[in-house]
């Protein structure tokens, strides 16, 4: 029996979402080589939706396709790093400010919950939880804008730098990063656009800038999956 088109589309979307989440939260390291066959076996699907997902991720700059079956998370270069940093500093503080009129008490409660989750992740040395909570904190702000194009552009940036966030997590103190998040929450509560813009800019610059100050890490290709 042939698959229904809607079912195929749903499967493609699910596989794409899973691989996307792995990149954004840094579960695929720089230089990580991917096997379409290995991913398909792990997820219990055919290689077709995996290839479709990887093609989409390649178009977004998150992976580079080396052959029909081999795909790689690209390594970081100085030029690419500077480009990503500049783009984030342009887009994300602006998105946070545009979101401010739309943020409610419910959003503030959620931001505080995520901030507490970050503290717990740091205390427990749980990098996966830290990465996920950090992502959710930022996008709780950005998605409140209701500006889909801007949010998609920011998501594409996160796809490209996500694999390097674990480097940041290993080098910068959790308390230092957390201060910027707490400053952002205070700014939201005070409806202070300048303070919110500054908090998000500081968070980005402290996190990504630290890599630049200490030198980009050379990362060997990870084990293929």
Q: Is residue 100 in a domain?
A: yes
CA distance 163 to 217: 12
CA distance 215 to 81: 11
Q: Is residue 221 in a domain?
A: no
Q: Which two tokens mark 83?
A: 């480009």
pLDDT in tens, the chain (225 residues): 445 556 677 888 999 999 999 898 888 888 888 889 899 999 999 999 999 999 999 999 999 988 776 789 988 788 888 898 899 999 999 999 999 999 999 999 999 999 999 889 888 888 888 889 999 999 999 999 999 999 999 999 999 988 887 766 665 545 455 579 999 999 999 999 999 999 999 999 887 666 655 555 444 444 445
CA distance 187 to 99: 12
Instruction: Please say which residue of 48, 72, 96 terminates a domain.
Output: 72
Assess whether 116 and 181 both reside in one domain.
yes
Assess whether 179 and 104 both reside in one domain.
yes
Question: What is the structure's pLDDT at 157?
Answer: 94
Assess whether 173 and 187 both reside in one domain.
yes
Q: Which two tokens mark 198?
A: 């500054």
pTM of the model: 0.84
Q: What are the helix (H) ranges across 125-192?
A: 127-142, 148-161, 165-171, 174-190
Instruction: Please say which residue of 18, 42, 72 terminates a domain.
Output: 72
Domain count, the chain: 2
- Closest residue by Cα to residue 16 from 44, 74, 57: 57
Assess whether 66 and 131 both reside in one domain.
no
What are the counts of helices (DSSP H) followed by strands (DSSP E) for the chain?
10, 3
Assess whether 190 and 206 both reside in one domain.
yes
Question: What is the structure's pLDDT at 211?
Answer: 60
Domain range spanning residue 122? 78-214
Assess whether 47 and 82 both reside in one domain.
no
Burial of 89 (0-12, 13-18, 19+ CB in 10 A): middle
Assess whether 122 and 26 both reside in one domain.
no
Burial of 87 (0-12, 13-18, 19+ CB in 10 A): middle
Instruction: Please say which residue of 13, 41, 72 terminates a domain.
Output: 72
């Amino acid at each position: 029996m042939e698959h229904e088109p809607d079912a195929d589309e749903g499967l493609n979307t699910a596989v794409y979402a899973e691989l996307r989440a792995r990149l954004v939260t840094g579960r695929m390291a720089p230089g990580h080589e991917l096997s379409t066959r290995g991913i398909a076996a792990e997820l219990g699907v055919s290689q077709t939706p995996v290839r479709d997902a990887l093609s989409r991720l390649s178009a977004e700059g998150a992976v580079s396709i080396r052959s029909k079956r081999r795909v790689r998370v690209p390594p970081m270069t100085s030029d690419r790093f500077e480009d990503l940093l500049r783009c984030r500093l342009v887009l994300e503080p602006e998105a946070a400010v545009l979101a401010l009129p739309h943020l409610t008490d419910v959003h503030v409660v959620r931001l505080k919950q995520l901030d507490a989750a970050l503290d717990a992740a740091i205390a427990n040395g749980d990098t996966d939880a830290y990465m996920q909570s950090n992502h959710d904190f930022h996008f709780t702000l950005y998605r409140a804008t209701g500006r889909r194009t801007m949010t998609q552009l920011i998501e594409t940036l996160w796809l490209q730098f996500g694999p390097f966030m674990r480097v940041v997590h290993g080098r910068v103190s959790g308390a230092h990063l957390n201060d910027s998040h707490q400053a952002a929450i205070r700014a939201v509560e005070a409806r202070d656009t300048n303070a919110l813009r500054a908090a998000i800019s500081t968070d980005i610059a402290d996190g990504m800038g630290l890599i630049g100050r200490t030198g980009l890490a050379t990362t060997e290709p990870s084990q293929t999956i």
